[in-house]
Amino acid sequence: MPPEAGSGSGAQAHWRSLETLYDSAPINRLFESRLELAKAGESRIHFTVDKSAFHAAGAAHGTLYFKMLDDAAFYASNSLVSDRFLLTTAFNLHFTRPMREGAMVAEGKWISGKRRVFVAEARIIDSDGEECARGTGTFLRSHIALSGLDGYSAR
């Protein structure tokens, strides 16, 4: 069973606080998106690709792929840790299809790790149900207390 897993009121409050933390990140003003945490060890990030994120050949730049995959895997892992902010230590990304304009979902899932290092995977699915990318990340428990972060608060 995942560490600190559960769906009780404590877990629910933690997940809502993580969603608030995600919303508060300045980077999300550049890449508008919405985090959804409904189950321990899983996350979903809803976002829309528009031409402002395109590279010169008319598809989404790799920056957008990495950001959404990293965030999805990160929050899937941090949904299991209620006291500390995790840090990405490595991320492996595989592009499988160009992202064009439209609605996308990045899905994250915790794979392993219970104390200090967590491993999670993520994938981006387009509105046709096709996978556009997938990745695997490792995340380290930091010394940063979640409770000390301005954006981490109950809604």
Q: Give me the amino acid identity at 6.
A: G
Q: Is the pLDDT of residue 1 over 50?
A: no
Q: Is the pLDDT of residue 154 over 80?
A: no
- Chain segment 5-21, per-residue pLDDT in tens: 555 689 999 999 999 99
Q: For position 6, what pLDDT does the model report?
A: 57
What class is the 9-148 domain?
alpha beta
- Chain segment 109-129, per-residue pLDDT in tens: 999 998 999 999 999 999 999
Q: What is the pLDDT confidence band of residue 4, given thresholds at 50, 70 and 90?
A: low
Mean pLDDT value of segment 32-60: 96
Residue ranges per structural domain of the chain: 9-148
Q: What is the mean pLDDT of the chain?
A: 94
Q: What is the pTM for the complete model shown?
A: 0.93
Q: What is the pLDDT confidence band of residue 100, given thresholds at 50, 70 and 90?
A: very high
- Chain segment 52-96, per-residue pLDDT in tens: 999 999 999 999 999 999 999 999 999 999 999 999 999 999 999
Q: Is the pLDDT of residue 108 over 70?
A: yes
Strand order in the sheet with 33-39: 33-39, 42-49, 102-112, 117-126, 131-145, 84-95
